[in-house]
């Protein structure tokens, strides 16, 4: 299900977005959706990085568990 959102842009911003969308061969709508999705993903990644940076013990534990799992796969394949 999608949501409808009204957006008011300054004329110069709209012109810049239109030029970028035209250069990419997509509609302004598609370009804005892609830009919003990229920014949302960037912020999600930043939040995740911040979480791990504030919990070094959890990060070290996850890395150790990953290495154990990888080691088990390597030896079982032989």
pLDDT in tens, 43-60: 999 999 999 999 999 989
Stronger pLDDT, 2 or 23, i.e. the higher one: 23
For the whole model, what pTM was predicted?
A: 0.70
**DSSP characters for 32-71?**
HHHHHHHHHHHHHHHHHHHHHHT-HHHHHHHHHHHHHHHH
pLDDT band at 74 (very low <50, low <70, confident <90, very high): low
Rounded Cα gap, residues 50 and 73, in angstroms: 31
Which of 26-30, 60-64, 71-75 has the highest mean predicted lDDT (pLDDT)?
Answer: 26-30
Rounded Cα gap, residues 17 and 75, in angstroms: 53
Rounded Cα gap, residues 75 and 42, in angstroms: 37
Query: Taking the domains of the chain in order of start, what are their residue ranges?
Result: 51-78
- 29 closest CA partner among 6, 57, 53, 52: 6
User: Which pLDDT does position 2 carry in this prediction?
Assistant: 87
For residues 30-49, give the mean pLDDT.
97
């Amino acid at each position: 299900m999608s949501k409808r959102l009204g957006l008011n842009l300054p004329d110069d911003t709209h012109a810049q977005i239109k030029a970028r969308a035209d250069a990419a061969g997509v509609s302004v709508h598609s370009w804005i959706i892609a830009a919003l999705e990229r920014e949302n993903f960037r912020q999600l990644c930043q939040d995740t990085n911040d979480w791990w940076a504030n919990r070094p013990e959890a990060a070290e534990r996850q890395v150790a568990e990953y290495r154990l799992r990888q080691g088990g796969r390597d030896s079982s394949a032989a």
